[in-house]
Structure formats: C-alpha cells, structure tokens
Amino acid sequence: MQHQTLALFLFMVLANCSSSNQTAFESSLKEYQNGQWLVSEMWAKKSIESNKSVAESQYMMGLCEFKRQQFEEAQEWFTKAASSSNKDVHGKATAMLGIIAENEGDFAAAEKAFSIAALELVGADRREAASRTTASIGNAGLISNHSFSLQFGAFRS
C-alpha cells in the first residue's frame, strides 16, 4: 500500500514537472491522442478552470465523453463549445452534435447541424460535413442514410 501511494505521488510530481512546458489544453490533447480519455478530461477541466482555451477544452470534454459513450454529457459539452466565436471549434462541435442527432434518429436536426458545420469548417472536415447533408436526401424520393434506403411514391395500382 505504501509503495502504491509513493508511486502515485511520484507520478503526480513527474506529471506536474513535465507539463510545465505544456498548457493544460495541450496536455489534454496529448492524452486524448494517447487514448487516455479520463486523463484528457482532467487536463481539459483544468484548462477551463484557469479560463484558458475554454472553447477548445469544452470540445475536448465532449470528445472524451463521446469516446466513453456518455452521449448526453458529450452533447452538453459540444453545445457549450458550439457557442464559441472560434469558427473551427464552432464547426467541429456542431458537426459532433449532428453525429449525435443522426445516431438518435433525428435526421432533421442532423441535417441542420451538418449544414452549419459545412459553412464553418475547411478541407476534409468541410467535405465530410457537406457529404452528410446531401447524403440524407437523394433524387426521385429516395431517402438514404448510409445503412438503409426507402423509396416512396403514389401509384393507382
């Protein structure tokens, strides 16, 4: 037990020493990339509490919760991040809200979110958001959502 406490203490000291060159948000990003969702959340919260990179950290919180399949919490964080004046954060958070809406079967909300996100994002992110807006409604009454399609019409016989 004493060795575990000492090991935990050393880890915390080393973490604080090594992070002195990085901001809390950068540490959050690094831990997210390493698949350490809870540690990433810890750093993102620290960034929010210190009022630095708030919108970016809110987005990171949403991503971590999404990865942990805590979709309600993720949606709350993405909603906060989507109010950012930073176009990239706003666009990415809005796209994630679209993904959540799509997974919940709310295709109208997803379409709206992806349309907004497509205006804010650049490059591959913009193309992905735009493809999700046009993919939900096809030609001649064909509605497609990547996993199913439904064709409707009115006929006399």
pLDDT digits (tens, 9 = 90+) for 123-148: 999 999 999 986 544 433 334 444 44
What share of the chain in percent tops pLDDT 70?
72
Q: What is the DSSP letter of 94?
A: H
SS3 content of the chain, % helix, strand, coil (to 5): 70, 5, 25
Q: What is the mean pLDDT of the chain?
A: 81
Q: Provide DSSP, 57-75.
A: HHHHHHHHHHHTT-HHHHH
Cα within 13 Å of Cα(48), Cβ side: 18
Look at residues 79, 76, 99 and name the one whose alpha carbon lies nearest to residue 90: 79
Q: How confident is the model at residue 101 (pLDDT cuts 50, 70, 90)?
A: very high
Mean pLDDT on 34-45: 96
Per-residue pLDDT at 79 exceeds 90: yes
151: helix, strand or coil: strand
Is pTM beyond 0.75? Reply is no
- As a whole number of angstroms, the distance between CA 60 and CA 44 comes to 7
